[in-house]
Each structure stands twice: as C-alpha cells, then as structure tokens.
Structure 1
Amino acid sequence: MSTRTDIRTGGQLLVDQLKIHQADTVFCVPGESFLAVLDALYDARREIRLIVCRQEGGAAYMADAYGKLTGRPGVCFVTRGPGASNACVGVHTAYQDSTPMILFVGQVARSDIERQAFQEVDLRRMYGQLAKWVVQIEDARRIPEFVARAFALATSGRPGPVVLALPEDMLREEAMAADAEPYKIVQAYPGASELGHMRKMLAHAKCPIMILGGTTWTAQAVADIMTFAQDNRIPTATTFRRQDRFDNLHPCYAGDLGISPNPKLAAQVAAADLVLAVGTRLGEAATDGYKYLSVPRPEQRLVHAYMGAEELGRVYQADLPINTGMASFAAAARALKPVDSSRWAAATEAAHQEYLDYTKPIPNPGALELAEIIAALREQLPAETIVCNGAGNYS
C-alpha cells in the first residue's frame, strides 16, 4: 500500500491513479470543467500520451477501439453537458460490445448541482442505461478508491464502460490520500463437472456447431479454442464483428454469423443438434433476429459459456450454462480428451468449403468492382492488419 503523505489536487490524484493502473493513453476533448486534470496530464506527458480530439463522439470511439485492441480500459475525458451528450454514442457501443472503457466527465461545482447550472446534466440518469456503473466523486480523498473500482469493474465479468463524474471544484481541491494498488481482472473458471457434462453432450451429438464471440479473449485463448475445435473437428462460426476469434483459413472455420451470412451456414445452425456458444450473447445480429434458435428454449441442445452470470438465461435457457472467462474456458476445453468426431467430420469439411465459395467475389454491373477490391486487400495485406470501416448493411 502507498504511504504517500504529500498533498495533491484532485486532478493530480486522478492522474497518479491512471499511472498506477498503467493507462498509457488518454483520449479527450478539452473542457474548462476538468482543467485541473489537464494540468496534471501535462505534467505526466512522458508517461501518458494525451490524444486531443475534435469531437467527443470520436474520442469515445477511440477509447472503445483502444479497449477492443488491448483488453485494457480505454480512457476518455469529456466536459459536461454537450461533451457528455456527444460521448454517449461511444459509451453505448462499448456497452453493447462488452468493451472495457472508462469515461471521465467534468461536472459543475458541487455547490451548483441541482440548480440547472451552466451545461449541468444529471450524469447518473443520462448514463444509467449505458454503463456498468455511474458515480460522481464528491470527495477528492476518495479518488483512488473510485478509480480502482472503475478499472476493476470495467474489465471483470462481462467487460463494459464505467462513467465517473468529476465536479470541477473537487478536482481543484487539495487532499491527502493513499494511492491504490494496480487493479486485477476477475474472471470465473469453468468447473470440472461442467466440462465433463459438455464433453458428454458433444460425444452424443450428430451435427454440432460451435459459435464464438464476445470479449476477454487473448491470443492464447484463440489458439486453445482452435485446438479444441481441430481435435474434435467441430465446425466453428464467429459472430458479428468477431471474425478474429478464429483463423478464417482453418479447416474448421465455417464463416461468420453477421449481417447477410451465408444461407448455408444459417441452415447449418438451425439444423444442428448441439450448439456450443462460447463468449457470445447470441444477440440479434448473430441469430438473425433470434431466428436460428427459438426463444426462450432452443430446439438444439445448448451449451452457453459466457463471462457473466447475469447474461446466462437472459434470452436463452441453455441445457448447460457456464459462467466463465474465455481464457480459462478455452484452456480447459483444449485439455479435454477428444471425442469420436467421425459422424460430423465430413460436414465440417463441407462447411469450410462453402465458406470459401461464399466469399469469392461475384461479378456486379458497373465499372468499379468493390468485391474485387476487398478480395485484393485480403490477399495483399499482412494477416495482422487492422481494417476500419463503417457500420450497417452498406459496409
């Protein structure tokens, strides 16, 4: 535990906590409501890179992207009122995508709250449905406590955004407080009985399929789940915007269940007698509006492994719900003794070939063949290239 006894402003205390929790990058649109933080960030410029953005929605999206790519919370600062409103879209995306993110919002002085002061917004009500936790720090001495909790909450269980409101006078306030320790991620582990039950269900299946999605995946977890799929020759699909959860050229890969999926893949999910849903909520996009599996009780037998007990049973009643982080689940699944997969091995090979056939460009009228351009990019770009595009059917 820290034994610091020096007096610091709220802004300095906050930035010191960011350093402790290894936040190396911060995105923001500067505002007068958190000038004390900006001063402290300037002093910490050799340790924390500050990326100044033109609009708060963009800053929040950048923090969301940082969280997606690193697994660590993307940190964003915006000002009250209009800034908080603009940032909502990025926070909502982080919430739906289970991305770890921390949004700090400047707020009016504590003495002015509930008076409709200039650009005042009740941030708890504004963000209550968009974030895992919304809190206003009233006392600078509690900054280490609240920031540590924010990092832990943003990354544990089902990851997501956390919002901290910062009254401007609190940030200028001088206080003496002990620093927190670096946060630790908390994820559940699958039980031996659950894994044994899953293996038994797989051994008795005739046409299984595995669907991967969600967050908390690591490179090792992806490698482990690929080994599990390969050892058991399970056809494996990914969900909307989660294609990197499995090597798309692997012989077990069957395609992605996003917008406009391969109709043959959709039919395979509907015809499966066992669905192993790993990391995915089985949301609207992944199920074509909840059509592939009946709500609330699917016709297929369902193993649902997810990082958060509150999501298990929210839509689908699984035969075997497993509350687990993806890294621990993938490692445990890899360690299971493979089952006899001869009953579905041919279907797995056919599913991969159907994916390859479906992704070949189809000639379209016009001078510009966009499909050919994307195919060329796929062939020429390095495997680890990060490609950004828009959202919606047009993309």
Structure 2
Amino acid sequence: MTLRLPDASGGLRTYEPRTAPFTAAPGGPLASRTVFSAAHVVADPFADTAPGAPAAVDWDATLAFRRHLWSHGLGVAEAMDTAQRGMGLDWTGAAELIRRSAAEARAVGGRIACGAGTDQLAGGSLADVRGAYEEQLAVVEEAGAQVILMASRSLAAGARGPEDYLDVYGHLLRQAAEPVILHWLGPMFDPALEGYWGSSDLDAATDTFLDVIAAHPGKVEGVKISLLDARREVELRRRLPQGVRCYTGDDFHYPELIAGDEHGFSHALLGVFDPLGPLAAEAVCALDTGDTSGFRALLDPTVPLARHLFQAPTRFYKTGVVFLAWLAGHQSHFTMVGGLQSARSLPHLARAYELADTLGLFPDPKLAEERMRTLLSLYGVTP
C-alpha cells in the first residue's frame, strides 16, 4: 500500500513504505568510543495539565526507553536539552528524572551522566547562579551519576565578561567530587546562550573555555561541543589538554567527527542518537574492529534525517525525536510535555517519517505506517 504524504509546497505525494523491519541485536559495551544518547522523556497523555504547569511524565515508558538504549551498549545522557530542560521540564521534574534514571542505571549496569544547570532560576546574581549550580550538582552526585555542567541562561544574562565565567566555573570545579563534562551549547539550540563564555566572537569564547579547563587539571573528564561547526570542533579538540575527551554534540557532522583523523577523534553525546540508537551502536561496533569504512557506510546515510530533525529553529528538534519514538513503538502516543508536539508542521513530520523509513529504522514498519496514517487522518488527509 502507499501513503499520501504532504510536502512543503502544500501538495500531496505518493510514498510506498518499506516492509523489511530494522533488526539490531542488543550488544555489549562499546570499546573504541564512549557514546551517550541524550534521551527524551515520555509525557503522561492522561494527565490534566495546562500550559505552564509542571510536566507530567510517564515514568514507566521513560525508563523503558533508557533500558532500550543501555541494551545496545549506549550510555544515557540524562536531563539534557533533549529531555526538554527549559522547554517543558522544570528543575523539580528534572531532579526526579535524574534520581529515577540513575537508580535504573545501577540496576541494569548502564552508564549515565546527568545535566546540572541553573534552570530553577529566572535571572539572579552571580552568587545565585553559583548556588543554583551547587544545588543541582549535589543532586546528580548524590544520585551516583557523572555530572555534565550545562550552560546557564542566568549566567549568560548576568556575566559581565570572561572573568565571571572563570570565577563561576572555577568555583564549581573545585567542589565537584569527580571529573565532570563541560557542555558548550550554542545559541542555535538555545538563543538565550548567545555570547557564552563572555563573547560572541567564537575564537575569544574558545580561549576562555580552554582557560577554564587548563586552570583545573584533573577536574574535567571531557567537553561536549554543540556548535554545529565541524571545523571549529576539530580545532578545539586538538587544543584540549591530554586526557580530556571531546564529545561531539554536532548533529550535522557526527560521522566524520567520530571517525576522526590522524590527529584524533570525538566521542559522542548526541540527541540524534535517541532515534538512531541501535544503528549508531552497530556502527561503533564496526569501528571497534577497525572498520572505519563500515562505520561510515552505516552512519553517513543517516545525516539527511539528522539535518532534517535539527533544521532551524533547531531547538524544536525534540518534536521529531519523540515523533519517531512513537512511530517505532517505544511509546503509545505522540504527546509531549509542554504540548511541544505542535512545534513542527505536518510536512516536516511526514518527511521525518519518510527519511527514517527509508533508512529502515522502524522495528515494525507496519506499525509505523499505521501510526503515520492515523496522524495524517487527524490533519484531514484521506487515503
């Protein structure tokens, strides 16, 4: 059977879904690269919530998705922007997510790192920023997870220059019980982070970022770079102190950055590895055997889907991620906390379905097709 899918011109085109399911057997830990998937949260579709109210999370489905990722050897990057931090999930909900996911990770032997930021603040002084970071740092450490120090909207709003970043991050790194991952999230993911590290000049910002790391040897395990600029990431990772890992957050250029070059490579902490998890794990398994061409043959064809999901406004990529999780059968509905399922158009979602189906990402293509038909019918598309 065929589907009539809407396109960006307002018309309908015919698409014939594939019938062969995607198969990827669960595997063990990945060896040559450390790979985290930044995982989404599953909303409770029966909760009587209102705009601006605290998020209602389906904890069983949310934790089941994390077990799915761990079963393929991936780590989980918890309570990151993929989990809608600052876009539907407040700090109270994020803290509960961190505690539950960290306990689940211990139970199954999965690797987990969790985001600590300042999203319980709305503005505030630098002292308030430090206090908010400290609160979240304590929650992550008490849960037994590795800390990812996330970028702070409040720090970006209140910092007067690079010296304030050096001061705040220095204070936090001295307190951290274990080495952390520093996260540099670009304004394409969150416009409120424009000028992070004290400058909109990325060369100057990079120097400050590296100064923070150099001033605290042994306290930074790695850095996550989410600037969607492969050249800049390569240049930065070559300047990192020995022993500090670069985790790519570049959802446009991840195959080449993970494969690396003669000078090194990036590990991965990616939102796009939420829908691509099993396939990404299979690709890194090829890399574990030294088969770089096999790795690229598996991952390169996924880039058009990633670029589609993360097209501007990039911060709304979460909608496509959750949509694909619904089509793949990881959750029973296409509902998001904060009502964010409405953030992308029907043509956008239809193209995401087509690209994912062409890749063979769906374990049950028939289920994905039926759910796509259901969505189309809600928008008035007749067979």
**Structure (1 or 2) with the greater strand fraction:** 1
TM-score for both structures, normalised by structure 1: 0.25
Q: Which structure is higher in RCO with an 8 Å CA cutoff and minimum separation 6? A: 2
**Structure (1 or 2) with the greater helix fraction:** 2
Larger Rg: 1
